[in-house]
Chains A and B, each alone.
Chain A
Amino acid sequence: MTEAATTLGPPSAPTPFAFSEASWTRIRKLLTRYPQQQAALLPVLWVAQEQVDADASRPRQLTADVIKAVADALGLAPAYVWGVATFYTMYFTQPVGKHLVEVCTSVACCLVGGEEIYQRLCQRVGIDPASGGTSADGRFTVRRAECLAACGYAPMLQLDNGAFHENLTEEKLDALIDSLREATA
C-alpha cells in the first residue's frame, strides 16, 4: 500500500504524459485484437513504457500521469492499472537508472558462476549486492533476475529489458560496463 501511495504521487515530469500519435495508432490496432478492452492492458502498458523510455526529458518510470493515461485509454481505474502493473517485474513501477542490468542468478546460471558475475557487477558500479538498486550517479540499476531461458549459455544478463549477454566472463562483463559508461558519459 505504501509503495503504491508514494509512487502514485504527483507526476514527476513537468508536462503530464500524453500518448503520441504513433502510440495511439498502436493502441487502436491493439484494441481490435481482443474481445474486451481490458485485455489490451499489458500491451498498452508496453506502449506507454516504450514512449516514456524514448523521451529523455522524462524519468524512466511509470509515474502517476502515465498510469492515468493508460487507464483513460482503456476505460479502467488508475488504481486497477497500477495494481496490474506492479504484479509484473518488467514495468518500471520504481525509478530505473540509465541502464537496467539484470543478472540471472537462478540455479543453472549459479552452477557456472552467475552469482560471481552479479557480485562483480554490483561491486564495479557501487551497489549493495544484498539489495541491488541504482548507483549513486543514476547510471546503473542492477537487479537479480530469475531464469531467462539462457541456461545453456550461462552466465548471462539482460540489458534494458532487451538484449541478452551470454556466456559471460569477468572480462566480458568489465568490457560491457566500460562501454555503457562511455555511452552515458
Chain B
Amino acid sequence: MTKVLTAHVDHPDSHRLAHYRSVGGYEAARKAWTSMAPAEIIGEVRASGLRGRGGAGFPTGMKWGFIPVSSPKPKYLVINADESEPGTFKDRLLIERNPHAVLEGVVIGARAIGAKRAYIYIRGEFATQVKVLEQALVEAEEAGFVGPDLFGTGEGVEIVIHRGAGAYICGEETALLNSLEGRRGYPRLKPPFPATNGAWDCPTCVNNVETIAAIPWIITHGGAAYSQIGVFEPGEEGKPPKVDSRGTRLMCLSGHVARPGVYEVPLGISFRELIEDYGGGVWKGRKLKAIIPGGSSTPVITADEAMDAVLTYEDCARLKTMFGSGGLMVIDDETCMVSLLTVLLRFYAHESCGQCSPCREGTDWLYQVLVRIRDGKGRPDDLQTIRDLCVNMEGRTVCPLAAAATMPTISYLTKFLPEFEAKVSAAQPVGVH
C-alpha cells in the first residue's frame, strides 16, 4: 500500500535531513523551483484531488488558485500546526517524525502562490515538537533548501516558526492570523477571506500540516498518481463528482481501541477495517457502541452505522457527520453517553473565545445543564432546554465553534436519547422552580 506521508517514519533518524535526503528529500522542491511554473504546480495539486486535512476538506489546488497572481502587497503562506481538536494527534507525528516533508511542502507551496515568507503557527504546548521542527529548519537552511536563493534561481522563501500559547480557537484560520499578528485569538468575520485579506491584510493561504506534507509526493509522482489512491466517481455532465475522496489520510485512533495510534490509510477503506484490522478491534474484548469519526466536533455515529460505512467525505455526509480532522474515537458498550457528552461540552465551554454572546453563554449553559443531568439533578424540561440552546447558537456566531458544540450535542441526544431520558426521569426533585 502506498504511503505518502509516513513511509519512512519508523527510521530512528527520520526527522534528520541526511535521512530525508537519502529517500529523495527536497528533489520535489528542486523540480518545482527549477522546472515548473507556479501555475503548473497548482495544476498538479488540482489534478491530485487533495482536499485540506485540517477539517473542512476544501480542495487544496483550488485554494491556492484563489491567491491573486499579481498583488501589490506581499503574499503569505501560513501553515496551521495548532492541532487541538480532541482526538487528533497526526500533525504532531509529522512534525516529530517527518518535519522535512512539512518544510519541503512549504517551499513548494510558497513558489506556487508567490509567497516570499511562510509562517508555521504551532500550538504552544508543542514545546518538544517545536524543537524538532526548529532543528529541521536550521538543517534545511544550512543546506540551502530553505532561504532567499533556492536552487540557483535567485529567489526563495523564508520560513518562520511561530509558537502559540494555548488556545484551541487559534486553530480557526482567522483567529490564527490574529494571533500571528500579536492579538487575542478572536476569529474574524468573513468575508473578506484570507485569500485576499489575510495576515496583515495581505493575500494569505492557510494550509494544515498534513495537507502541505503531501505536496512533495504529489510533485514527485504527479497529481494523477495521487488521485489513483482512494476513491473518485465523476458526476454527470457539468455536475460535481459523486465521490471525491482521493489520497491517503492519517487516521488517529484513540479511546477504547486495542491498538491506538496514527495509521496512514487510503481513503475508501471501511471503518470496520480501520478499527478491526489496523486498530485491533475494541479493547478488552468488548463491543463497539459508537464512534466519533473526526474529532470531538463531528457528530457521533452508532456502531451499526459505522460498520457499514467507508472512510470518504461522502459517506460521512450521508451519515450526517463529518470526516473532520481524522481523529477517530472508539467508544465501547460500557460507556455512559451522558458523561461523555458532559466532558465533551466542558471543552467548548472552556475554549469559546467569548466574542459572540450565543457561543460564550451557550457553550457554558450547555455544559452546566449536562453536569446537572449527569449528576442526577436534571429537570424534565432539560432536554428541550438543550435543543433550544442549540437552535439559538448555531449559525448566529462569527465562527463555527458554536456549531462544533451544538452539532455533536444534537447527535448524542438523537442517537442515544433513552440514556438521557433515563437520567432525567430518575432525577430527584430539587425543589420548586
Interface residues in A76-107 by Cβ distance below 8 A to B read: 83-84, 87-91, 105-107
| Contact (A38, B329) CB under 8 Å given A147-B347, A152-B253, A152-B260 | no
- B331 interface residue per 8 A CB criterion: yes
Q: In the bound complex, what is the Cα–Cα distance between A91 and B166 (angstroms)? A: 8
With A42-B182, A107-B296 as known contacts, state yes or no: A147 contacts B256, CB within 8 Å.
no
Q: Which A residues lie within 8 Å of B296 (CB)?
A: 106-107, 147
Also in contact, A38 and B127, with CB within 8 A (given A43-B163, A152-B252): no
Q: What residues make up the interface of B, taking CB atoms closer than 8 Å to A?
A: 74, 83-89, 91-92, 123-128, 158, 160, 162-168, 179-185, 200, 252-256, 260-262, 292, 296, 327, 329, 331, 335, 340, 343-344, 346-347, 350-351, 353
Point out the residues of chain B lying under 8 angstroms from A154, CB to CB. Answer: 254, 260
Check A46 against B84 for contact (C-beta < 8 Å).
no
Nearest chain B CB to A46 CB, angstrom units? 6
Q: Could you tell me if A151 and B166 are in contact, using CB atoms closer than 8 angstroms?
A: no
Q: Complex Cα distance A45/B91, Å? A: 25
B86 close to A106 (CB less than 8 A): yes
Contact stretch, chosen from A3-11, A15-23, A108-116, A134-142: A108-116
Please report A residues at the B interface, Cβ cutoff 8 Å. 33-36, 38-43, 45-46, 74, 83-84, 87-91, 105-108, 110-112, 115, 145-154, 158, 161-164
Closest Cβ of chain A: how far from B38's Cβ, in Å?
22
Contacts of A151 in B (CB 8 A): 86-89, 252, 254-255, 260, 327, 329
Bound-complex Cα distance A146 to B141 (A): 35
**Roughly how many angstroms separate A45 CA and B166 CA in the complex, as a whole number?**
13
How far, in whole Å, are A106 and B341 apart by their CA atoms in the complex?
11
- Assess the A88–B167 pair: CB atoms within 8 A: yes
Sample of 6 A–B contacts (CB below 8 Å) = A84-B182, A87-B167, A89-B166, A111-B340, A149-B84, A151-B255
Cβ–Cβ contact A164 & B128, under 8 A: yes
Q: Are A149 and B89 in contact (CB under 8 A)?
A: yes
Q: Is the CB of B180 within 8 A of A39?
A: yes
Q: Are B88 and A87 in contact (CB under 8 A)?
A: no
- Bound Cα distance from A151 to B85, whole angstroms: 10
Chain B residues within an 8 Å CB radius of A110: 340, 343
User: A107 contacts which of B83, B87, B92, B182 (Cβ < 8 Å)?
Assistant: B87
A35 touches B200 (CB 8 A): yes
A88 to B: closest C-beta gap in Å: 4
The answer to whether A150 and B160 touch (CB under 8 A), given A90-B124, A105-B343, A107-B340, is no
Other A-B contacts than A147-B168, A149-B125, 8 sampled, CB-CB below 8 A, are A36-B200, A42-B162, A106-B343, A107-B344, A111-B254, A111-B340, A152-B261, A154-B260
Q: A108 contacts B181, CB within 8 Å?
A: no
Contact between B124 and A88 (Cβ–Cβ < 8 Å)?
Answer: yes
Q: What are the residues of chain B within 8 A of A33 when measuring CB–CB?
A: 158, 160
Cα separation A145 to B124 with both chains bound (whole Å): 13
Quick one: given A106-B347, A107-B296, A107-B340, are A112 and B88 in contact (CB under 8 Å)? no
Q: Please name the residue on chain B nearest to A30 by beta carbon.
A: B160
Q: Does A89 lie within 8 Å of B165, measured CB to CB? A: yes
Which one of A39, A90, A163 lies within 8 Å of B182 (CB-CB)? A39
Task: Enumerate chain B residues within 8 angstroms of A36, measured Cβ to Cβ.
Answer: 181-182, 200
| B166–A90 touching, CB < 8 Å | yes
7 tightest CB-CB pairs across the interface, nearest first? A41-B182, A89-B166, A88-B165, A152-B260, A90-B166, A151-B254, A147-B86
Bound-state CA distance A110–B165 (Å) is: 24
Pick from A34, A45, A115, A148: contact of B125, CB below 8 A.
A148
In the assembly, what is the distance between CA of A67 and CA of B334, in Å?
A: 49
Give the chain A neighbours of B185 by CB distance below 8 A: 87-88
Report yes or no: B351 in contact with A146, Cβ–Cβ below 8 A: yes
Known: A87-B184, A89-B166, A91-B165. A108 touches B87 (CB 8 A): yes
**Bound CA–CA A170/B275 (angstroms):** 28
Pick the most buried of A91, A106, A162, A163: most chain B CB atoms within 10 A of its CB. Answer: A106
Find chain A residues with CB under 8 A from B343 CB: 105-107, 110, 115
B182 pairs with A152, CB closer than 8 A? no
Query: Which chain B residues lie closer than 8 Å to A41 at the CB level?
Result: 182
Q: In chain A, what residue has the closest Cβ to B121?
A: A42
Contacting residue for B262 out of A83, A146, A152, A162, CB 8 A: A152
Chain A residues with CB under 8 A of B181: 36, 38-39
Pairwise interchain contact A149-B165, C-beta atoms closer than 8 A: no
Q: Say whether A147 contacts B165, CB under 8 Å.
A: no
A40-B182, A107-B347 known; A147 and B84 CB under 8 Å?
A: yes
Complex contacts, A145 vs chain B, CB 8 Å: 125
**Contact in complex: B125, A153 (CB < 8 Å):** no
For B83, B254, B262, the residue with the greatest tally of chain A CB atoms inside 10 Å of its CB is: B254
Please, how many angstroms separate the alpha-carbon atoms of A147 and B348 in the complex? 11
Nearest CB of B to A145, in Å: 8
Q: Are A42 and B179 in contact (CB under 8 A)?
A: yes
Kindly identify which residue among B124, B168, B180, B335 contacts A146, using a CB–CB cutoff of 8 Å.
Answer: B168
Decide: A161 and B127 in contact? CB cutoff 8 A: yes
A111 touches B256 (CB 8 A): yes
Q: Could you tell me the distance in whole angstroms from the C-beta of B378 to the nearest C-beta in chain A?
A: 20
- Nearest CB of B to A76, in Å: 8
Q: Do residues B260 and A153 form an inter-chain contact, with CB atoms below 8 A?
A: yes
Which residues of A sit under 8 angstroms from B124, Cβ to Cβ?
Answer: 46, 88, 90, 161
